[in-house]
């Protein structure tokens, strides 16, 4: 029987009893309602860097809630946790002199970035620049902007007309992007790209690809948007994918790991150059979300970023990655997987066949990984122990055999 809950990205007719009911978590382990434990090989949904059950974040949220749980930041209001978390975010980004527009979800961040990019050009008198370039395999959330921006065709279908002026290029072909710019560069407002494509199957960019996008945007006057919703906050072994690949975008979206998922928080980092177009006296920015700057979410973000800094978790992504790559190399040497791809602490094992049945077996044996087409994605908490990584790899090996 279905329940009153209509699940996200799920078969709508699936009986509630067939879902895994997670009731508790500690570190990189979670437990279901039968008491069975699982290694959380996906950090819930690509977001839990610091592990589950961290008292530092729970206490910070509780302390904040006892003072005030939330009060909006629409004009004329502000609050200290929102200002502080924005400072901590820009300090860690390639835009220390930039500013942060806050939301709650990655989808809100993406739609905001798309609106900011278009309005940037409108305000500069370039109203014809509306085209947004997207890449195949790109995932940018499920609001109408992000649905239009994503390069996973089935996710775009069935909703009627999407937002106009989105043009797709193959995710690994810089020449195709160059041709598009040559044809209609003066109409292109922005290119949106994940540094490492995550939900589309963990595809790191080809060498020189992101640098090439940066050059095209500069040459033709378009903005480069990095969607850092998965890459941001340590996943690649740097604070942001931008720093990992040494390419600086004009706008950066983030969500997920900014709080390690303890409470919803997201946003857009605007470079100084973009801010300046909006900071003219008297201009009112007419977009924003009720829960932007929610004090409890911002308190979770502050505590999470402090914890990640104190524990050196950004650098630890490289250690976790080394352990995972060793395991994936062994699976490949044994002929159990075709190949793997990834960087930092986010990987996909390519099976060369549908991954759902294998995932089901792995799940039954106490490890959570995510099937995406013919691959299995792995994106564990950055506090995961070597033994727990071993359990992920061994469980995958057993299921694949
Ligand atoms: C790169 C990227 N952008 C946007 C989103 C959407 O985030 P949310 O599900 O919080 O709306 C996701 C979610 O996985 C994502 O991976």
CA 120 to chain centre: 24
> Beta-carbon neighbour count of residue 199 at 10 Å?
22
Nearest atom, ligand 1, residue 105 CA: 10
Contact of 328 with 115, CB cutoff 8 Å:
no
Q: Last residue of some domain: 310, 343, 366?
A: 310
pTM for the model stands at: 0.98
Tokens found for residue 191: 């290119």
Establish whether residue 251 lines the binding site of ligand 1, counting it when its CB lies within 6 angstroms of any ligand atom: no
Residue whose tokens read 């309005």: 119
Residue ranges for the chain with pLDDT beneath 50: none
220 shares a domain with 87: yes
Distance 108 CA to ligand 1 centre (A): 9
295 shares a domain with 154: yes
How far apart CA 131 and CA 119 sit, in angstroms, is 12
Q: Could you tell me which of 197, 209, 221, 240 has the C-alpha nearest to residue 94?
A: 240
Distance 276 CA to ligand 1 centre (A): 27
Distance 99 CA to ligand 1 centre (A): 21
63 shares a domain with 168: yes
Distance 232 CA to ligand 1 centre (A): 11
Number of structural domains (the chain) is 2
Distance 350 CA to ligand 1 centre (A): 22
φ and ψ at residue 216, rounded to 5 degrees: -60, -45
Nearest atom, ligand 1, residue 106 CA: 7
Contact of 343 with 196, CB cutoff 8 Å:
yes
CATH number at residue 352: 3.90.1150.10
Tokens found for residue 40: 């959380």
In a domain, 8, yes or no: no
374 shares a domain with 269: no
Q: Last residue of some domain: 254, 280, 310?
A: 310
Handedness of CA 252, 258, 262, 265 (dihedral sign): negative
61 shares a domain with 22: no
231 shares a domain with 176: yes
Establish whether residue 252 lines the binding site of ligand 1, counting it when its CB lies within 6 angstroms of any ligand atom: no
Contact of 133 with 167, CB cutoff 8 Å:
yes
23 by Cβ neighbours in 10 Å (0-12 / 13-18 / 19+) ranks as exposed
Distance 35 CA to ligand 1 centre (A): 30
**Which residues on neighbouring strands pair with residue 269, listed in sequence order?**
100, 252
Q: What is the pLDDT of residue 159?
A: 98
Establish whether residue 255 lines the binding site of ligand 1, counting it when its CB lies within 6 angstroms of any ligand atom: yes
Establish whether residue 140 lines the binding site of ligand 1, counting it when its CB lies within 6 angstroms of any ligand atom: yes
Q: Could you tell me which of 243, 176, 238, 240 has the C-alpha nearest to residue 213?
A: 176
- 247 Rama sector, left if φ>0, alpha if ψ -120 to 50, beta otherwise: beta
In a domain, 347, yes or no: yes
Establish whether residue 227 lines the binding site of ligand 1, counting it when its CB lies within 6 angstroms of any ligand atom: yes
Establish whether residue 106 lines the binding site of ligand 1, counting it when its CB lies within 6 angstroms of any ligand atom: yes
- Closest-CA residue, ligand 1 atom 6, reads 141
Distance 46 CA to ligand 1 centre (A): 9
Q: Last residue of some domain: 310, 335, 367?
A: 310
Contact of 188 with 220, CB cutoff 8 Å:
yes
CA 301 to chain centre: 15
Nearest atom, ligand 1, residue 45 CA: 14
Q: What is the pLDDT of residue 207?
A: 98
Which domain covers residue 175, as residue numbers? 56-310
Q: What is the pLDDT of residue 328?
A: 98
> Beta-carbon neighbour count of residue 283 at 10 Å?
10
Tokens found for residue 388: 């727990």
Q: Could you tell me which of 143, 232, 133 has the C-alpha nearest to residue 183?
A: 133
326 shares a domain with 237: no
266 shares a domain with 147: yes
**Cis peptide bond prior to 76, omega within 30° of 0:** yes
In a domain, 3, yes or no: no
How far apart CA 377 and CA 340 sit, in angstroms, is 10
CATH number at residue 132: 3.40.640.10
Give residues with Cβ within 8 angstroms of 130, minimum separation 6: 118, 121, 164, 165, 187, 189
Testing ligand 1's pocket by substitution, the residue of 139, 228, 348 carrying the most ligand atoms inside 8 A of its CB is: 139
338 shares a domain with 281: no
96 shares a domain with 230: yes
């Amino acid at each position: 029987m279905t329940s009153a809950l209509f699940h996200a990205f799920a078969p709508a007719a699936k009986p509630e009893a067939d879902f895994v009911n997670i009731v508790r978590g500690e570190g990189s382990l979670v437990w279901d309602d039968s008491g069975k434990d699982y290694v959380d090989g996906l950090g819930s949904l690509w977001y839990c860097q610091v592990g589950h059950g961290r008292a530092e974040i729970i206490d910070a949220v509780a302390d904040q809630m006892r003072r005030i749980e939330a009060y909006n930041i629409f004009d004329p209001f502000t609050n200290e946790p929102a200002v502080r978390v924005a400072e901590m975010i820009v300090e860690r980004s390639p835009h220390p002199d930039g500013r942060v527009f806050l939301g709650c979800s990655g989808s809100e961040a993406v739609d905001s970035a798309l609106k900011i990019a278009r309005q940037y050009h409108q305000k500069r008198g370039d109203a014809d620049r509306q085209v947004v370039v997207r890449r195949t395999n790109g995932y940018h959330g499920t609001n109408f902007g992000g649905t239009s921006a994503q390069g996973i065709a089935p996710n775009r279908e069935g909703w009627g007309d999407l937002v106009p002026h989105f043009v797709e290029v193959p995710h690994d072909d810089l020449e195709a992007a160059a041709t598009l710019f040559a044809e209609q560069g003066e109409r292109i407002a922005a290119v949106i790209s994940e540094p490492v494509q995550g939900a589309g199957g963990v595809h790191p960019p080809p060498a020189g690809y992101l640098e090439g996008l940066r050059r095209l945007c500069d040459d033709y006057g378009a903005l480069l948007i990095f969607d850092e919703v998965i890459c941001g906050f340590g996943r690649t072994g740097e604070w942001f994918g931008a720093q990992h690949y040494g390419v600086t975008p004009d706008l950066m979206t983030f969500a997920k790991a900014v709080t390690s998922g303890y409470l919803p928080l997201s946003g857009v980092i605007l470079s100084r150059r973009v801010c300046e177009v909006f900071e003219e006296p008297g201009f009112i920015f007419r977009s924003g979300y009720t829960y932007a700057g929610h004090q409890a979410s911002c308190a979770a973000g502050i505590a999470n970023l402090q914890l990640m800094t104190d524990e050196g978790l950004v650098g630890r992504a490289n250690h976790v990655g080394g352990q995972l790559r060793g395991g994936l190399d062994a699976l490949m040497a044994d002929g159990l997987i075709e190949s793997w791809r990834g960087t930092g602490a986010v990987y996909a094992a390519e099976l060369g066949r549908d991954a759902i049945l294998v995932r089901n077996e792995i799940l039954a044996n106490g490890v959570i990984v995510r099937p995406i087409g013919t691959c299995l994605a792995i994106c564990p908490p950055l506090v995961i122990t070597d033994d727990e990584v071993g359990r992920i790899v061994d469980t995958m090996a057993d299921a694949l055999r």
